A and B are shown apart, each in its own frame.
Chain A
Amino acid sequence: MAKKHHLSAVVNGEPVEFLCEARQSLLEVLRDVLHLTGAKEGCNNGNCGACTVLLDGLPVNSCLVLAVEADGCRITTVEGLADATHLHPLQQCFLEDAALQCGVCTPGFLVAAKALLDKNPNPSEQEIRFELANNLCRCTGYDKIVRAVQHAAARLREART
């Protein structure tokens, strides 16, 4: 067995160090080594988006990133969206607007939607659909997800003014 690599990263604001094999994906390390199981494996080849995390602020399919590539990076997972006492407005709006059914795609959608709203605080329906097209949901038909993102965007804009 190959020697493990010693890596460091900032995960959800906290500096962490961990060991991993060269062949392990970032998703595998997040889930199996760091025990952050919020990011899900739906396909393990970049087609479903359930494993979406932010890598230095940009959304990536963590199943397509080798963990060794994340050395020194800032990583945000769904576990890092809420603060100690409050859900992120996206999380709150997903709940209020019934934008999840089984919930397994939800972490990926929340992280991808955060990336969208970070760069575009007032996206159109079409922009939301385009930006979230990398994330598959089989339960909702997307209607309520799109509305929840619009709702959260409005709430975030209000909070800024």
Chain B
Amino acid sequence: MTASAKPAASSSAPQYKVLGTRPIRHDGTDKVTGRAIYAADLHLPGMAYGRVIRSPHAHARIRSIDFSAALALPGVLAVTSAADMPDLKNKFADLGEGRVNLAHLGANCLAQGKVLYRGHAVAAVAAVSPHVAEEAAKLVRIEYEPLPAVTWVLDAMKPNAPLLHDDVFTESMGQLSDKPSNVSRHIHFEQGDVQRGFAQADVVIEREYRTASVHQGYIEPHACTALWNQDGHVTIWTATQGSFSCRQQVAELLELPVSRVTVVPCEIGGGFGGKIPIYLEPVAVLLSRKCGRPVKLTMTRSDVFEGTGPTPGSFVRVKLGATRDGKLVAGEAWLAYDAGAFPGGMIGPGCMCVFSCYEIPHARVDGYDVCLNKPKTAAYRAPGATQAAFACESVIDELAERLNIDPIEFRLKNAAKEGTRRVDGPVYPRIGLVEVLEAARASEHWNTPLAGPWRGRGVAAGYWFNIGLKSSASASVNADGTVTLVEGSTDIGGTRTSVAMQLAETLGIAAEDVRPQVADTDSVGYTDVTGGSRVTFATGLAAYQVGLDIRRQMAERAALLWECDPALVRFEDGVFRTDGRSITFKELAAKLHATGGPVVGRAAVDPEGPTHGFGAHIVDVEVDPDTGKVTILRYTAVQDAGKAVHPSYVEGQMQGGTVQGIGWALNEEYWFDDRGQMRNASFLDYRMPTALDVPMIETIIVEVPNPDHPYGVRGVGETPIVPPPAALANAIYRATGVRLRELPMSPPRVWAALAAAGKSS
């Protein structure tokens, strides 16, 4: 069942015609008929097929690369390695979501001198067919000098740990360490007086939590085709979350002006943050430059696991203190997140999110970004927040139990609200956590008793920022009264429609009367990545402003027809009016050619985020004491969407994020042997949830409008992955009396914990 809980209707609540309805998505027919073109579906005349050669070692020096045997194979067209990349030294670039060291980015695409993880790209070949390329790849002789590897974050922080980089130093409080280190950054946040805070506490609980690396697990492997044309212009057709970000990364790495690179975003088969970095694109460009043909590169599933960003493995220690009447007074968190092979992981947001749901007057957070011999981490849906919430929300649950307070009541007593200062500094504007928790408390699920042995109910809250950033859009009015919308946000999950609906609402026309198109980097203004739950918020804002621009121009045309002052033309419910006269949007659209020509609206926006997304999840489980298997009996996700533009797709984000969180909690993990080799790099052994593993996911959408968006939109995509691991750990505790503090809570681990507590059979 899906419910939609709305705050008490007030007379001033806006009434929408399009927002809140459930039209069929504009790109739907292409996607259910197999016509939609994803990156791997592209076929160009004369296309060559590439293959990347990857490191078999977790850590090794590259002694030599010998292409001679590969080049002798008939059908081989080109080979490449880091020797063909410009030397970028320590050049930095702002890629929209922060500064990136280009030398590291380049060395991740093609290893420079050393390989830093198994699966690290070392070289590539292009040939007339994928099979010839595969054979040629096996003929490339690479000599390695293996080095000791480290794959657990606490081991990598030890002074005697194998060192990955001699140019990475620990940055702490603006100071750099004097010796190179795997620890690239120490973050410290503090507010109040932590010692005094804990002294006020009647109960203090401190626990340690560990999480394994997990992968975003998009079903479409990375793929791209690049053409270095004879005029020197580069075109890239690719699976990316951000065509402009991809363009900039490739241009910076290959030292090309951005205007010489066109990125054509194909339909994208899932990303979740993992298709923000580039991997194949510069390699395909180098191969194309050498062979003069378009070159297609695709990854295998093992390549995806071993060569693209997982999320950090982590160690988190959380200490919280509360008074007898249930007020949190002090908190302390110590987080170490692995960044993978290169610095710049997800520790920043982890530190900012760990206490983000609560008002804690005295708090301190220390975080560490740690390099080790795993693929460089990439964003994964609320990057860094889930690990932190697993720790914090588990301790919150223990505190509530110790104080004999209902876990939702305890959260409500301490919930962050407007005016609460987060430990990293910002003060919240109007947010919806209290409403979310109240909706959870009032839910049918929470009020239905759960009975039976080995069964338990858990609850957890979660937070993600949701960002703003830059978006551009334009739209032209057609003579039949429809509008063609051009936007730069690649559409991963239905944003063509959620953006088009906001333009339709603004123009008073039907959602179906807007035709949205995602354009390449030559055809639309700069637009940041599809990430940070930003598209429906920020590109939606651009669409709204496009609508206002069109309304203004159309009002001028109406004024021309009526020979009146444009300022006297009003627009209401899709109709332009002045005293005694009116004309519908559609009627006026038919007269544009006679009143001055086409009307094109445009907008470029850079709204301030974050928009603050809060959620709370309730889960019922049954634990099998013989096997340790956790079965989910019932699951409810509650979330503040601000305004649910298309409720079905909001529910879909909540359900999909929840199930990813369930996979993270119960089964998924990168499993490394002592040589740093991932031993489960397939969908058979890396166990993502199937339809049979989960129940229906009930959703309750709360709408506390975002004051910084004309329609109140907050963004919804990421928050729902945050609560599940903690909610499940809390449920398992209620079912068994045993607390699990390490992810995944897979059957062997649950069974072992039960056995250790004398509870398994």
Contacts and interface: CB of A to CB of B under 8 A. Distances in A.
Interface of A: 21, 23, 31-32, 35-45, 47-48, 50, 77-79, 81-82, 87, 91, 94-98, 100-107, 110, 125, 128-130, 132-147
B34 A45 contact: no
Contact of A39 (B34, B43, B651): B34
Contacts of B31: 100, 103, 106
A102 B267 CA distance: 8
A102 B269 contact: yes
Interface in B20-66: 22, 24-25, 27-29, 31-38, 40-41, 43
Contacts of B220: 40, 42, 102, 104
Interface string B632-675: 00000000000000101101110111111000000000000000
Interface in B267-304: 267-272, 298, 300-301
Contacts of B37: 37
A41 B483 CA distance: 36
Nearest to B38: A104
Given A96-B24, A103-B269, A143-B696, A91 B659 contact: no
Given A47-B683, A129-B690, A139-B493, 18 more contacts: A37-B37, A42-B220, A45-B682, A47-B684, A48-B683, A79-B34, A95-B24, A102-B268, A102-B492, A103-B27, A103-B36, A104-B218, A132-B691, A138-B656, A139-B492, A141-B689, A141-B694, A145-B691
Nearest to A31: B41
B217 interface: yes
B688 interface: yes
Contacts of A31: 41
A48 B219 contact: yes
A79 B692 contact: no
A147 B691 CA distance: 12
Given A91-B32, A95-B24, A128-B691, A140 B656 contact: yes
A71 to B, nearest CB: 20
Contacts of A38: 33-35
A35 to B, nearest CB: 7
Given A97-B648, A138-B218, A129 B32 contact: no
Given A98-B652, A138-B270, A78 B690 contact: no
A21 B691 contact: no
Contacts of A44: 300-301
Contact of B655 (A23, A45, A143): A143
Contacts, number: 186
A54 to B, nearest CB: 14
A153 B323 CA distance: 56
A91 B682 contact: no
A23 B134 CA distance: 13
A144 B219 contact: no
A95 B692 CA distance: 22
Given A132-B691, A138-B218, A43 B656 contact: no
B29 A95 contact: yes
A81 to B, nearest CB: 7
17 contacts: A35-B43, A45-B301, A47-B301, A79-B34, A100-B31, A102-B220, A102-B492, A103-B36, A103-B269, A104-B219, A104-B269, A141-B652, A141-B660, A141-B689, A142-B659, A143-B696, A143-B697
B131 interface: yes
Interface residues of B, number: 60
Nearest to B27: A103
Contacts of B272: 138
Contacts of B32: 78, 87, 91, 94-95, 100, 103, 106-107, 110
Interface string B694-731: 10110000000000000000000000000000000000
B593 to A, nearest CB: 33
A135 B691 contact: yes
Contacts of A42: 219-221, 269, 301, 683
Nearest to A142: B691
Identify whether the interface residues of A are mostly helix, strand, loop, or mixed: loop
B305 to A, nearest CB: 10
B494 interface: yes
A18 B62 CA distance: 44
Contacts of A147: 696
A136 B33 CA distance: 19
Nearest to B30: A103
A40 B27 CA distance: 18
Nearest to A94: B32
A117 to B, nearest CB: 15
Contacts of A134: 690
Contact of B34 (A78, A102, A133, A138): A78
Contact of A133 (B22, B35, B270, B691): B691
A47 to B, nearest CB: 4
A31 B296 CA distance: 14
Contacts of B646: 98
Which of A44, A50, A81, A128 is packed against the most chain B CB atoms within 10 Å?
A44
B33 A87 contact: yes
Contact of B649 (A47, A98, A110): A98
A107 B34 contact: yes
Nearest to B648: A98
A106 B31 CA distance: 7
B34 A37 contact: yes
A128 B692 CA distance: 9
B22 A98 contact: yes
A79 B34 CA distance: 6
Nearest to A79: B34
A106 B131 CA distance: 27
Contacts of A91: 29, 32-33
B652 A142 contact: no
Contact of A102 (B270, B301, B648, B657): B270
Contacts of B684: 45, 47
Contacts of B28: 94-95, 100
A131 B439 CA distance: 35
A136 B219 contact: yes
B691 A102 contact: no
A101 B41 contact: no
Given A37-B41, A45-B682, A50 B656 contact: no
Interface in B533-556: none
Contacts of A95: 24-25, 28-29, 32
Which of A78, A105, A136, A143 is packed against the most chain B CB atoms within 10 Å?
A143
A32 B272 CA distance: 28
B219 A105 contact: yes
Contacts of A146: 691, 696
